[in-house]
Structure 1
Amino acid sequence: MERVKETKTALVTGANKGIGLAIAQGLGALGFTVAVGARDDGRREKAVERLRAEGVDAFGVALDVTSEESAAAAAEAIEGTAGRLDVLVNNAGISGRFDDGAQDPTTLDLDVVRTVLDTNVFGVVRVTNAMLPLLGRADSPRIVNMSSNMGSLTLRTGPVMAAYAPSKTMLNGLTAQYARRLAETRVIVNACCPGHVATDFTGFNAPRTPEQGAAIAIRLATLPDDGPRGGFFDDAGPVPW
């Protein structure tokens, strides 16, 4: 029988840049083996090389979150390399285009909505469900969904973006449903907001560094067994939503 690796393994989707890469670096610094999930072969391998140069035990996993087949193949790859999965960080996300009123609710482009939901919501379901059997083999499995307070119905922050913001509202609702379904298991599921972070996502025009944005995800990924379930958190604590 294949021996299961002793070190904990984390899969971070969209880990080739920005907050995802910072999460991979932070978990790697804590001793995790990090699976870098990304669809672009060149960027994925570049990220793996960078992590290894920093002393992180990392390997690349081809993963397109819009494809069920890709998610299943990624689970097989992780099983072959690590035997189980301890942490899943669903970080991959897109803003969707917002030119020409595409995300103004009064002129909303429904194709943009479909595209954003396919990555930000359906992608999380595809990857999570593909990885659940591997997470079930871990002693303290954790799932962290990267959300945004733009999806908060209470706060209503940021610009009007009628595809992106509701995708994060739905992701928060989905997080609560997973937490309810998995309440009697060891799997702890939460969502978090990294804050306004300087990445290509924001045109690098934001006050927080990727490392600051990654901190809450790393905290939720390493929660104790009696940690919160189904919540939405940022650095300051629970976020109203």
Structure 2
Amino acid sequence: MSNNDNKNDSLIKLQMFRDFRKTWEFVEEVTLENRQDKILTWFDFVSKWIAEWYKLMKFSEEQLGEEINILPKGGNTQLFLRRGIELFLNLTWIQNCVLSGAYHQAIRELRYSLETMIQSYYLDINHPEASLECKLEILKELADLDRPITAGNVIDKSKLDNKKKLKKLYKELSSYVHPSFTEIDSGVTTTMFRPKLFDLCLEFTNKVMNAIFNISKKWNEEMQKYIK
């Protein structure tokens, strides 16, 4: 194939991508027409989480003597706070997924966000004096032993409240993440506005964020006990 042929092929593929983006933009327009009063829910949770995270950050600086450093191996050893930074980004990405009709992807990201916050809570509370590198090594070692620290296998071991409710939510989210009857029955993901799946994403978002705020409260309580 000549250089000109390669260039033409690349231009065709790029145009196809641009055309597909127009489809996403159309779905966004339809979504806003039908759920304009609901789509800002994710931004509202971002604002609330920023306030919550800032409160935890101040506690970390004033009571634990650790400043926040978002670099992979810098400063703060509290994994929960680092995952909290990631949650800001995840919420905006989830909103974009819902806005453009990628509902199953949004639910998968919600499950991931819940699991990372449960996992980081568990590691911080059970290994409060460990460095970040040590906590990551614990994760690696347990994964190598086929005993990974996932939400499903640590909720019962943790000091979290409402364990049955939390496990039920995690199970519901998982039914849309893994190939299952629930996932298939909800419909193959296509690029279009689907009211029922939009509302389901909204419902799951409310449940996940309420759970995360409760986990954050528990993290704060347990760390307060640790420093006394």
TM-score by length of 2: 0.31
Question: Which structure has the larger Rg over C-alpha atoms?
Answer: 2
TM-score (norm 1): 0.30
- Structure with the higher helix share, 1 or 2: 2
Q: Which has the higher contact order (CA 8 A, sep 6+)?
A: 2
